Amino acid sequence: MDLKQIEALIEVVKNARVTEVSVRRDGAAVTVRKSLANHLEAPAAAERQPEETPSLAPEEQAESEAGAGLVIRAPMVGIFHMADPVNATGVQVGKGQIVGAIESMKLMNEVVSDVDGTVVELYIESGMPVEYGQALFRLEGA
pLDDT digits (tens, 9 = 90+) for 9-66: 777 777 777 677 778 877 778 877 776 544 344 444 444 444 444 444 433 433 434 3
- Look at residue 107 and tell me whether its pLDDT is greater than 80: yes
In this structure, the answer to whether residues 26 and 68 fall within a common structural domain is no
Mean of all residue pLDDT scores within the chain: 75
Residue 52 lies in a domain: no
Residue 85 lies in a domain: yes
In this structure, the answer to whether residues 8 and 66 fall within a common structural domain is no
Across the chain, how many H-helices and E-strands are there?
A: 2, 11
Domain containing residue 86: 58-140
In this structure, the answer to whether residues 133 and 73 fall within a common structural domain is yes
In this structure, the answer to whether residues 22 and 65 fall within a common structural domain is no
In this structure, the answer to whether residues 41 and 89 fall within a common structural domain is no
Q: How far apart are CA 84 and CA 79, in angstroms?
A: 16
Residue 53 lies in a domain: no
- Look at residue 80 and tell me whether its pLDDT is greater than 90: yes
Q: How far apart are CA 33 and CA 14, in angstroms?
A: 9
Q: What is the per-residue pLDDT for 28? A: 79
Find all residues with CB under 8 Å of 91, minimum gap 6, and list them. 85, 118, 119
In this structure, the answer to whether residues 18 and 75 fall within a common structural domain is no
Q: How far apart are CA 125 and CA 123, in angstroms?
A: 7
Average pLDDT over residues 90-114: 90
In this structure, the answer to whether residues 43 and 63 fall within a common structural domain is no
Specify the CATH number for the domain of residue 128. Answer: 2.40.50.100
Please report the DSSP string for 30-65 in residue order.
EEEE--HHHHHHHHHHHH----------GGG-SEEE
More confident residue, 15 or 124: 124
Model pTM above 0.85: no
In this structure, the answer to whether residues 65 and 21 fall within a common structural domain is no
Q: Work out how many domains the chain is built from and give that number.
A: 2
Residue 80: closest CA among 112, 103, 96: 103
In this structure, the answer to whether residues 128 and 67 fall within a common structural domain is yes
Q: What is the per-residue pLDDT for 36? A: 52
In this structure, the answer to whether residues 65 and 126 fall within a common structural domain is yes
